[in-house]
């Protein structure tokens, strides 16, 4: 090879890697506006709003697929299906799905009690389960008795004290190490460097999402387990405790850490802080100071996926919640410069000792910094229950963003949301992975109130309102689009300068009227275009006449 060729090849390889990293954003499913330079202003809160008059915000729920679940329990190792992660490759359109299958004692090996399974689909609705020769399954339970050399199991547990649990997968096409482009966090039990077993997060890596290698560093952190109602330890005490249970003839093991994440993991990459982040449940102490009272939402971060920060509690049940409310788990994704949480709200049937917390609904929460969270729609179930998910809904941090809609996949089953119960092994038990969809960016919209009749108005106004956005730099903007529903009314857009003065040629009367229901109404004026604007910042004012607006996009 010539010297110039030696120099050219690494440079060419670098260019190819940068191209793939820049253009294949399919792995970062919570990324938005990749490469286009467009900016979408979501109206889920007033972050972009200077003020608005005569309007109200309405939150919308996702529509569940009528033929759910799209993945059903139909294999011997699928006694109950819950946690899931999904990825759609934007180049091929292939959907890859990872889901937790609880097998219980069907296979006597402890490593096979709770496994990670794999399925894929070309359309996101019809999934197949490829039978692989990676992990076998053996059972003597009818009607499944037999040895299965081929399964769709891609990861087993360690066989420690407790079960391997959950599976959160993150795909990074730009990862320089091909063997680590697929990253998984899950919960399990394994020994540390001193051979002391600990529950905590574990990592696994894969080049294709099918062949996984566990990290030798596991466990990555330490989490609490057991110790309900016990008082926090003193700083000089060993958090690991053992006690023989004579009644059940077994050894009780407790790991008594006062503040730690718990047994569910949902990871994503936080582009604002340029780090991996996990949001999940964290135990709170009870009214008497005892451990393991109820769960709140905590955050932990990492720069390398292996070393994780001390958890920080960022949101917890408060005075507006019923006393029996806790957070089961709180997966977060980042989209259009906003953090969204599909919080799993868990409530017991009553405030009695020992009452099972087995009523669950999904609450959409919003944050602009990932730390301070708003809960504007507490009682609206973002994902309505269906028969297969009547006992529990298990959301994740991996929605799929398409051109016209957002697809949410989630696990569900009919037995109680925690602890399983007798229904878990009944023939009536149902579980699987469900699908719910939302029109693009339509988490919440702003529409006029029915009547504005304040004394400062000369006459009452019916279904009339306006939203004035904060000043924006429009110098390089070629087009403005409005995501809005004006099927029974109309939307008009005008411009004001940063001081609030109208701009000639860009007033409400100059604006072309937007009618109908569209994800991208094109804003225009009768005689002027954005190119005619002098440099400076401008406020967009959306005039709503019996119409609803969800987002505004600035296109370069």
Q: How far apart are CA 17 and CA 500, in angstroms?
A: 47
What are the CA-CA distances from residue 121 to residues 94, 166, 397 (Å)? 6, 21, 19
- The predicted structure's pLDDT at residue 24: 41
- The predicted structure's pLDDT at residue 505: 97
Sign of CA dihedral 417, 423, 425, 428: negative
**Using alpha carbons only, what angle is made at residue 398 by residues 303 and 281, rounded to the nearest 5 degrees?**
70
What are the CA-CA distances from residue 510 to residues 5, 106, 490, 506 (Å)? 61, 71, 14, 6
- The predicted structure's pLDDT at residue 429: 80
Percentages helix, strand, coil for the chain (3-state, rounded to 5) are 5, 45, 50
Q: Which pTM value belongs to this model?
A: 0.92
CB neighbour list of residue 312: distance below 8 Å, 6 or more residues apart:
298, 299, 300, 371
- The predicted structure's pLDDT at residue 3: 35
- The predicted structure's pLDDT at residue 349: 61
Report mean pLDDT in 10-residue bins for the chain, 556 residues: 37 38 39 66 98 98 98 95 96 97 95 98 98 97 94 97 95 96 97 93 98 96 93 95 88 91 93 97 94 95 97 96 93 98 85 64 97 95 94 95 98 76 68 97 98 96 98 96 98 98 97 98 97 96 98 97
Element (H, E) at 3: helix 3-23
Element (H, E) at 445: strand 444-448
């Amino acid at each position: 090879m010539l010297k110039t060729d030696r120099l050219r090849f690494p440079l060419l390889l670098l260019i190819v890697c940068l191209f793939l990293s820049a253009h294949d954003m399919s792995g970062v499913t919570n990324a938005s506006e990749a490469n286009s330079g467009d900016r979408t202003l979501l109206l889920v809160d007033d972050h972009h709003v200077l003020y608005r008059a005569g309007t109200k915000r309405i939150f919308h729920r996702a529509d569940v697929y009528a033929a759910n679940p799209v993945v059903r329990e139909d294999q011997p190792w699928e006694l109950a299906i819950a946690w899931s992660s999904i990825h759609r490759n934007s180049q091929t359109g292939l959907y890859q799905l990872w889901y937790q299958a609880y097998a219980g004692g069907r296979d006597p090996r402890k490593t096979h009690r709770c496994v990670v399974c794999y399925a894929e689909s070309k359309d996101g609705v019809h999934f197949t389960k490829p039978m692989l020769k990676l992990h076998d399954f053996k059972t003597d339970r009818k009607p499944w008795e037999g040895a299965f050399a081929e399964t769709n199991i891609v990861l087993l547990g360690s066989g420690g004290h407790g079960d391997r649990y959950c599976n959160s997968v993150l795909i990074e096409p730009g990862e320089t190490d091909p063997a680590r482009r697929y990253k998984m966090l899950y919960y399990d039990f394994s020994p540390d460097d001193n051979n002391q077993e600990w529950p905590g997060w574990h990592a696994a890596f894969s080049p294709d999402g099918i062949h996984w290698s566990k990290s030798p560093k596991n466990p990555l952190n330490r989490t609490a387990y057991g110790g309900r109602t016990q008082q926090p330890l003193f700083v000089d005490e060993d958090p690991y405790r053992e006690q023989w249970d004579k009644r059940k003839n077994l050894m009780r093991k407790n790991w008594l850490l006062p503040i730690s994440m718990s047994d569910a993991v949902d990871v994503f990459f936080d582009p604002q802080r340029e780090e991996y982040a996990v949001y999940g449940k964290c135990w709170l102490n009870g009214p008497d100071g005892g451990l393991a009272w109820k769960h709140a939402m905590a955050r932990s971060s990492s720069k390398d996926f292996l070393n994780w920060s001390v958890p920080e509690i960022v949101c917890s049940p408060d005075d507006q919640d019923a006393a029996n409310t806790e957070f089961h788990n709180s997966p977060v994704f980042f989209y259009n410069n906003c953090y969204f949480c599909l919080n799993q709200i868990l409530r017991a049937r009553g405030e009695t000792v020992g009452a099972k917390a087995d009523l669950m609904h999904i609450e959409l929460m919003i944050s602009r910094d990932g730390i301070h969270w708003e809960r504007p729609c507490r009682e609206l179930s973002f994902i309505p229950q269906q028969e297969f998910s009547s006992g529990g809904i298990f959301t994740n941090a991996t929605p799929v963003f398409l051109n016209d809609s957002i697809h949410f996949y989630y696990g569900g089953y009919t037995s109680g949301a925690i602890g399983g119960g007798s229904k878990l092994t009944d023939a009536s038990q149902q579980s699987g992975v469900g699908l719910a969809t939302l029109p693009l960016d339509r988490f919440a919209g702003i529409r006029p109130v029915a009547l504005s009749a304040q004394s400062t108005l000369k006459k009452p106004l019916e279904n009339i309102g306006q939203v004035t956005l904060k000043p924006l730099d429009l110098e390089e903007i070629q087009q403005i689009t409005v995501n809005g529903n004006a099927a029974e009314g109309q939307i008009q857009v005008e411009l004001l300068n940063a001081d609030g003065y109208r701009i000639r040629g860009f007033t409400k009367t100059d604006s072309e009227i937007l009618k109908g229901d569209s994800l991208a109404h094109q804003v225009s004026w009768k005689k002027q275009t954005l190119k005619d604007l002098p440099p400076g910042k401008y406020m967009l004012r959306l005039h709503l006449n019996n119409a609803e607006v969800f987002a505004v996009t600035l296109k370069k």
